[in-house]
Structure 1
Amino acid sequence: MKQSNLYTATKTRALAASAAAVSLAMVTGSLALSTGAFAATVTNNDHPHGIDQNLIPAYETMPPVDAQRTIDITQGLRDWSPDLLLAKGLANDDMHAYTADDYARWNSIPVDMIALYGAYDGEYLYLMWEMSNPTDVVEPNNIWALNNGKLNESTTRDYPFFIVISTDNQNKDAPPTDKTIENNAKTADGKTIWDSGNEFTQGATSIVAIHSSLGNKETKIFYGGKSGLNPVGEDAEATVNAGSGILHDSSVNGLLGFGKSRKSTEVQDPSTQNKVIDLSTVHHDISKYDFHYQVQIPLSKLDTTVDDIKVHGLGVQVVSTCSAFNAIGTDSLPYDMATKTGLEKGHGNAKFSAPFAILQ
């Protein structure tokens, strides 16, 4: 079903999700990755430039990355390299991993992000994120998730990804502009993008929505301003690709356990750092179960240029979901505690607030 409008009439239960990363406060050159609330300018976004998520060290957002490079996304991972890493997280930390309802978990799959990379050239922004299906070592008797857990190969599931972009000045003291989507990226009447229940409080300038199914070529971009998100998107002219394998194919850091044995706040508990292991050491099959997505988006659709990025930076957060409709975020890079919202009984909107990863 095409989702060309902001809202959808159908809602299904949101299950599962993915892994990712949130930020360290770092300064490189003239750009600062902020971990505090924006104090210099009054705006009606809750957390301009984002707030620290208080995560364990395994989650990391890199300092602003010098990422000017052309990527051919039709050539698998050939053109990507470790120096283009924007954010990293852990496997087995998405909403699927924390779902205590066995029936729900056994009828869902992980949507688990573990690393985000980025680059740009004179025409495009390029993003690549790696994903893991750790079911083989976490819950191997969950046959459905084991055999159907590679979202890029699914013929029955088509979940949105939301790519949240800021082309405003990424310096922590920079004020919003007339391109900044305020009202936490809700519409003037309080609706959210694709009726997803996701709010973005950091001051985005556009949000690109794509599909996990490569057979669905629809890509939309939404803009906004002082009154919030424009409810009508336009063609993003983006290209999406996906495939098996990840850049670091010899190790995947993650956590063990699932369901009732897990606490959703564990990623903020310092003792959890000691529980992080390389899942390949307990025989996780990376080549069989892990995969990636790539996307290229014209800079012209993002209303920016190479020179603008070099001077002001470009901020990004990618959010994965686990339902075609009512697609509340279930994982993100940089990692955001908002991805735990769907676990709460009678939950409201998920309010994303992690500082953006920055390309410059």
Structure 2
Amino acid sequence: MKHMKRYVSVLLTLAIMLSCTLITMGSVSAAEGSRAYFDNSKYNWAQVYVYAYGTKENAKWPGQLMEKGADGLYSIDFPATYKSENVIFNNGLEKGEGKEQFPENSGLSLKTGECKLLTADSQWVDYGKMDDHAYGFSYTPSGTAFSKDYIEVKLGLKGSKTGSYSIDGSAKKTYANGDTIRVGEGKIGNSTIKLTLTTKGSDAVETTQEYTFKKTFTSTKTTFSAKSDGHTTDAEGGYYGTNPNMQLGKYKTITVDGKTDDWDSSMIIAQGVANDDPRVYMPSSMHEQPWDAYALYGAWDDDNLYFMWEMANTTYIVSPSDNFAASNEARPWRNSIPMYLALSIDPDKQATGKAVGTDKSGATYTNPFVWGCDGGTAKDGGTSFTTHIDTLVAMDSNNSNGGASIFKADTKDTDGTYMFNYDTRIPIGVRSFQAQDNQNGFKIKYANGTKSDSIIGVNGAKGSRKLGDNLDPNSNWVDFKDLGYKSEYGYIYEVAIPLKTLGIDRNYIETKGIGAMQILTYGTSGMDTLPHDPSMLDNANVEYSYDPSTSHEKEDIDNITVPLARMGALLSDTVVNEAPLEINCGADKNSGQGVGTAITLQSEAYNNKGNVSYEFYVNNEKLTNTTTNTAKWTPSKDGSYSLKFVAKDSNGKTVEKTMLYTVGEASSEKLLGDANGDGKVDVKDATLIQKYVVLMADIAPENLSVADYNKDGKIDVKDASAIQKSVLNL
């Protein structure tokens, strides 16, 4: 009996071990490998091939033949050894035979564990998982950011006819394949919205997919301008900033050691954005080193002018298959590449970029640009200036160029402008690379690192980016630190420039001020500047003449036209444009919550003077359950509600914002006061109501209820007057 018990015990142990092994194997197999689907309904190719390359190559071009499934989609599986690939779908034909492919250039990213679908309208979307269960999915990628009140999100289904969705924990609502929903409606900016999709297939297994979206808010910035600086293009706005918060640098002694501990955010004189270098606008150039300026800091003491700038490398996030650029091997000091600090010191001298010098025979010669010219001709583009610049601190990215110098525009040209002079240059280059013994007191150090707490930029690359998206508030803005940005993958440069080499002192900086811009190049043409100048991207999506896979920005001529950042003091003719009082406001949960849900309304003031008082209204009824800048509200019935937020600062300035919020299953969402039904409340609605009252115009029947703005049961001039006062913040 003892032997029998022992035998049974062993069998049970083996069975448990086998069961655990099978469970483990099952969970691993579901995540192993990757799968790609292709919707051929638009292309109608006779045969569909897929070519994969990256860490592995699945076959020589045109790749492998895909199989059509019962769902009408073509699919193929890749083993787990295919870690991170680029895939190109094609019809298997060659040029001259009717060759077609998508995408036209570099492939779509596919990583181990992913299941992706190329839809009929060429969207590359997550498509459930690598098993036979049904899944719901979103055509808008998880992580998408936006600044509008809401975005329309199209929902899809895999292996099921219906599914359900929930936003921010709301009650589940049913949807069919292709339905669209509003995400972000009524929610406060700078918050995350959670979308949950649930469905069941014929196997009765319920699956859940979660997506997150970011609703952003960016306040208007106080700006300044001075005609005497020569700028012809306004400073770029949005997430860019020239002297943000009117910061002019600080008096402080800096140890130039490649470390960031001497610097803080109050010393930022120019703010850039990440992932905005020219590479991202070309489909095949992400393999190159990034020259991506992110933030420029400034300081001075009695002896030196100090600068520190951060450079970002987001390649391993936006294009991880580009192994070189995504690694630390892409550091800028890998090569000797020209870098500049362009300064405006003497307002009476305006340089255009031209340089003059004397050759060995004593003859005078001129070059169109300081660096990269041969016999009076630019080899590969160059940089010129419309904005006032008179001094160039020219160095290189690994401090190995002994010819690095400070060039001053001290020779007058025939047109009255000034030329930089080779003969009066002040050498700052190294005599020995090993010793790093720079001349005339100049110091430079570089290292891996990041100072900024956030790395803000547009997520995407390789053909997904469009020129101008770096200035569009509705682009997919992200904080790359939320996506795993590694601080050690950023780059830091510190420099010290003795004031005597510039011909100024501390008093000059603090009373007159100077202008400053940092310029990164690739060879001789500009790739990025701080403050950011539009010329850095004007040819970003044009092919480079030597290599069509990369950008023409490496060889074009860039003319600087934006204002420089100021250090120490503003120019005497500076006009400051104060940012208005603004509020970021909304609910803590997305519109569509159920009756009885506890909702917190919140309002945050920007650009205010002194303390701020807040008021909250629901359908024009003031809420009393409030704290300083929040209010509690629990809706008691289904319907569409008008939420109004009011803020007033110590100077008496008032700002008001109104938005729509839906509770329950209300289908005809109407904003209170929106008499013309255009989705907003403005003077046009007041005018329509006035015309309606005197029988000069009609209001659509479905808008009559919201035209009664004061909710007194009738539509009259009182409603029009109340709308006008609301719009004018009266």
Question: TM-score, normalization: structure 1?
Answer: 0.76
1:194 to 371, 381, 395: 371
Distance in structure 2 (CA, Å) of the matches to 1:335 and 1:24: 16
Partners of 1:279 and 1:66 in 2: CA distance = 26
CA offset digits 1:27-66 (Å, max 9, x no partner): xxxxxx426x55xxxxxxxx7145314x342101122515
Partner of 2:420: 230
64 and 78 in structure 1: CA distance in 2 versus 1, 3 angstrom threshold: closer
Greater radius of gyration (CA): 2
For 1:239, the equivalent position in structure 2 comes to 443
- Shift of the alpha carbon at 1:293? 0.3
- Runs of 5+ consecutive residues of structure 2 not aligned to the other structure: 1-219, 357-365, 373-380, 429-439, 544-551, 569-730
Counterpart position of 2:204: none
Quote the offset at 1:125 in angstroms. Answer: 0.5
Greater mean alpha carbon deviation, residues 78-87 or residues 229-238? 229-238
* Equivalent position of 1:332 in the other structure: 529
1:140 maps to which residue?
Answer: 320
Partner in structure 1 of residue 248 of structure 2: 65
Give yes or no for contact 1:181–1:204 (8 Å, CA) kept in 2: yes
1:277 aligns with 2:478: yes
Kindly provide the amino acid, as one letter, of the partner of residue 316 in structure 1.
A
TM-score, normalized by length of structure 2? 0.39
Q: Which whole-Å CA distance do the structure 2 matches of 1:167 and 1:198 have between them?
A: 19
Distance in 1 separating the partners of 2:393 and 2:234: 24
- 2: CA distance, partners of 1:163 / 1:342: 22
Q: Secondary structure at the match of 2:447?
A: strand
**CA-atom RMSD in angstroms:** 2.3
The Cα shift of 1:219 comes to 2.5
For 1:138 and 1:349, the matched residues in 2 are separated by: 28
Q: Which has the higher contact order (CA 8 A, sep 6+)?
A: 1
Amino acid at match of 1:120: W
Distance 1:284 1:193 in 2: 36
Contact 2:250 2:300 in 1 (8 A): yes
Distance 1:309 1:24 in 2: 25
Pairing of 1:137-216 with structure 2 (within 5 A): 137-147=317-327, 148-152=329-333, 154=334, 157-168=335-346, 176-177=347-348, 180-182=349-351, 184-187=352-355, 189=366, 191-195=368-372, 196-216=381-401
Aligned length: 299
Equivalent residue number for residue 294 of structure 1: 494
SS of residue in 2 equivalent to 1:358: strand
Question: Aligned AA for 1:353?
Answer: T
8 Å Cα contact 1:181/1:223 also seen in 2: no
- Is the Cα contact below 8 Å between 1:56 and 1:269 reproduced in 2? no
SS of equivalent to 1:73: coil
Whether the 8 Å contact between 2:309 and 2:493 is mirrored in structure 1 is yes
For residues 382 and 401 of structure 2, what CA distance do their matches in structure 1 show?
22
CA contact (8 A) 1:315 1:356 kept: yes
Q: Structure 2 residue aligned with 1:85, among 263, 268, 281?
A: 268
Q: CA 1:243–1:75 in 2, change beyond 3 Å: closer, same or farther?
A: closer
1:226-275: per-residue Cα shift (whole Å, max 9, x none)?
32322413314321101121222x43111111132212222233433xx2
User: In the alignment, what sits opposite 2:459?
Assistant: 256
Task: Give the share of equivalent positions with the same residue, in percent.
Answer: 26
Query: Is 1:51–2:233 an aligned residue pair?
Result: yes
Please say if residues 167 and 309 of structure 1, whose CA atoms lie closer than 8 Å, have aligned partners that are also in contact. no
Larger helix share, 1 or 2: 1
**What is residue 349 of structure 1 aligned with on the other side?**
557
Q: Which amino acid aligns with 1:161?
A: M
The one-letter code of the counterpart of 2:525 is: I
Q: Deviations over 1:259-314 (max 9, x none)?
A: 32212222233433xx2211111122223x11200111111111211111111111
What residue number does 1:10 align with? none
Distance 2:258 2:491 in 1: 14
Summarize deviations over 1:143-184 as a string: whole Å, max 9, x none.
Answer: 1111222213x2xx211111100113xxxxxxx41xx233x2
Q: Name 1:6's counterpart in structure 2.
A: none
Greater fraction of residues in strand: 2
- In 1: Cα distance, 2:538 partner to 2:567 partner: 28
Report the Cα distance in structure 1 between the residues aligned to 2:247 and 2:302, rounded to whole angstroms: 19
Give yes or no for contact 1:341–1:348 (8 Å, CA) kept in 2. Answer: no
- 1-side partners of 2:556 and 2:317: how far apart? 33
Gaps of 5+ in 1: 1-22, 27-32, 39-46, 169-175
For 2:296 and 2:353, the matched residues in 1 are separated by 22
Q: Secondary structure at the match of 1:199?
A: strand
